[in-house]
Structures are given as C-alpha cells and as structure tokens.
C-alpha cells in the first residue's frame, strides 16, 4: 500500500509538471502572437488604406479592410509628374547598395585587425572605438556638414557613400570581431604554415566562414541606408538627386489630404526592405544567434 501510494503521488507530480510545462509554453506562444499582432497592426492599416479609393477612405474606418481593393493608388503614385518615384528609387538603390558594400568590406577588414592582428594598443583602441557609439549623431552633424561643404561634397552622393568605405561603423566592427573571436585560431596557423599572409587568411579563410555575420551587417546597413532621411535631406539639394524618404515627405506636402496615396507610397518604400529581409532571414538570424566571443 505504501508503494502504491508513493507511485500515485509520483504520477500526480509528473502529470502536474507536464501540465505546468505545457501551460507555460501556451502562455509564451500567446504572448508572442500578441506581440506579432501589435507590431503588424500599423502595416495592416497602411496596406488597407493604400488599397482604398478616396471616397472609401473618407467614409470608412481606417481599421476596415477595403470593400473594393484597388491598385490605382500605386499607379498614380508611380506616374505622378510632380514626384518621380522611379528616379527616387534609382537614387536610393544606388546609395543603399554601394554604401552596404562599403560597410561590409571595411567593417570586416577592421574587425579582422582587432581580432587577429597583434599590435600595440589594440585593446585600448578598440575601447575608444566602442566609446564612439555613445556619441549622438546630432553632436557631429554640424561639424561633419561643414567639413563636407569645405571639400565640395554637398549636393553629391559622396557624403552618403564614401564614409561607408572607411570603417563601416563601430557596431558592425564589434559584431564581426566577436564572430571572428569564435573561429579557432588553428585555422590561421594552418594557413600560415602553407605560406598565407594576413590578406589571404582574411579573404580565403575567415570571410567564407563568416557569411551569417556578414549578411547580418549587410541587412542592417541596407535598411539604414534605405530608410535614411536626415542624410539626403542635409546633403542633397537638387530634386533629381533626392531619395525615396525625402521624396515621400515631398509627396506628403503635395498630397496632404490624400491619405490613400500617401499610404500607397509608404508601401512602395517598404517593399524592398521586406524583400531583402526575407531573402537573408535565415542567415540573418543565424548571425545574431552565433555572434559571441571570448
């Protein structure tokens, strides 16, 4: 009887533990779904209004899905003679792609130096690099503008592209350095025995192994360049050199009362970012998870 009672108690305890575990997973799943719904709600409103005509926008709630969805708003935005979205798309794509290439190359090279090259003051210099992340962009905005104006770079794409080839940003260097530190140094030593120098080790040994981290840096950089508003607003004066973000604000001023057209333009601006994210999603998540260090 004692053994049977002990067995019954053990079974009840095991069942209770299983029930609590399943309940915890259920609560976590519900919480995640609620979080997803909250984050997707603005996108739903934007898409719903972009598919409505002006009369439906005026007579229905912004939360309601359009009764007769239409793509005419997107056509009108793309063909509007006052705001050339095709030209803005070309300028934005050129700036975003070129600057992303520069960030990935320069930040990976700088990270290799901090992770693999021994030189005096390396760790202190890395701390100084990390300290620059605490400087707000507004602090350096005016001095940077004055510097670029003095060398004749204002009203050109140079301030938005060339700096990306000189370091790539402290956060990106830190991210890649931590990833490099997780790669065994025995690979470097084996390459040295085969006669490889630092460039060969960087390009042929470490770069192929750091694809997830490079994709992560690339996605962050592309999204930042694509959604940049302040940079083009400061340095680009001519309308034909503007980017999508500034062009969308211009369209807002011209069509302030037509929310359906504004939302259609916003959808067009965000589509490339979603495409880039979903293409590199797997490598992006892997890069975030695997980034670590000693």
Domain ranges in the chain are: 2-70, 73-290
Can you give the pTM of this predicted structure? 0.81
Q: Is 198 helix (H, G, I), strand (E, B) or coil?
A: helix
Over pLDDT 70: what percentage of the chain?
85
The SS3 call for residue 69 is coil
Evaluate if residue 216 carries a pLDDT over 90. no
Residue 285 to residue 279: CA distance in whole angstroms: 12
Q: Report whether pLDDT(60) > 90.
A: no
What is residue 264's predicted lDDT score, i.e. its pLDDT?
87
Pick the more confident residue, 93 or 8. 93
Half-sphere exposure of 163 (CA within 13 A, CB side): 13
Q: Which residues contact 215 (CB under 8 A, 6 or more apart)?
A: 280, 283, 284, 287
Fold adopted by 73-290: MetI-like fold (1.10.3720)
d(CA 242, CA 274): 22
Question: Directed axis angle between helix 259-279 and helix 244-254, to 10°?
Answer: 160
Task: Please classify residue 207 by burial: count the beta carbons closer than 10 Å to its beta carbon, then call 0-12 exposed, 13-18 middle and 19+ buried.
Answer: middle
In the predicted structure, residue 95 carries a pLDDT above the cut 70: yes
Burial bucket for residue 214 (CB in 10 Å: 0-12, 13-18, 19+): buried
pLDDT at residue 33, rounded to an integer: 86
pLDDT at 291: 52
Q: Can you tell me the mean pLDDT for 105-109?
A: 94
Least confident of 14-23, 91-100, 110-119, 258-267: 14-23
Q: Select the more confidently predicted residue: 101 or 84.
A: 101
Query: What is the predicted pLDDT for the residue at 265?
Result: 85
pLDDT of residue 5: 52
CA 88, chain centre distance (Å):
20
The span from the CA of 36 to the CA of 168, in Å, is: 31
Name the pLDDT band for 91 (thresholds 50, 70, 90): very high
Q: Which of 203, 137, 217 is nearest to 173 (CA)?
A: 217
pLDDT at 1: 43
* Residue 196, Cβ density class (10 Å: 0-12 exposed, 13-18 middle, ≥19 buried): middle
CA 56 to CA 73: how far, in whole Å? 13
pLDDT score, position 2: 46
User: Among 77-81, 149-153, 199-203, 206-210, which is the least confidently predicted range?
Assistant: 77-81
The mean pLDDT value for 209-238 works out to 90
| Cα gap 89→78, rounded to integer Å | 10
The per-residue pLDDT for 53 is: 85
């Amino acid at each position: 009887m004692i053994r049977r009672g002990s067995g019954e108690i053990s079974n009840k305890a095991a069942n209770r533990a299983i029930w609590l575990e399943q309940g915890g997973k259920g609560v976590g799943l519900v919480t995640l779904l609620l979080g997803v719904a909250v984050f997707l709600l603005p996108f739903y409103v934007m898409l719903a209004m972009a598919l409505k005509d002006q009369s439906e926008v005026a007579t229905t709630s912004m939360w309601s899905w359009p009764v007769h969805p239409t793509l005419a708003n997107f056509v009108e935005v793309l063909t509007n003679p006052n705001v050339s979205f095709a030209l803005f798309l070309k300028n934005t794509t050129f700036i975003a792609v070129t600057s992303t290439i520069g960030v990935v190359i320069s930040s990976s090279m700088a990270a290799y130096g901090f992770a693999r090259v021994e030189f005096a003051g390396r760790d202190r210099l890395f701390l100084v690099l990390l300290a620059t992340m605490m400087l707000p962009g507004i602090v350096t905005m005016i001095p940077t503008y004055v510097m670029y104006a003095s060398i004749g770079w204002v009203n050109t794409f140079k301030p938005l592209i060339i700096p990306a080839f000189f370091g790539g940003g402290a956060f990106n260097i830190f991210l890649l350095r931590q990833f490099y530190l997780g790669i065994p140094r025995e690979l470097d030593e084996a390459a040295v025995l085969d006669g490889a120098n630092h460039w060969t080790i960087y390009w042929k040994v470490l770069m192929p192994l750091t694809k997830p981290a490079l994709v992560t840096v690339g996605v962050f950089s592309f999204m930042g360049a694509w959604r940049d508003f302040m940079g083009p607003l400061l340095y680009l004066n001519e309308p034909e050199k503007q980017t999508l973000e500034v062009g969308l604000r211009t369209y807002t001023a011209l069509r302030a009362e037509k929310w359906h057209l504004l939302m259609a333009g916003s959808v067009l601006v965000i589509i490339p970012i979603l495409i880039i994210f979903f293409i590199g999603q797997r490598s992006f998540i892997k890069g975030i998870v695997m980034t670590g260090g000693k």
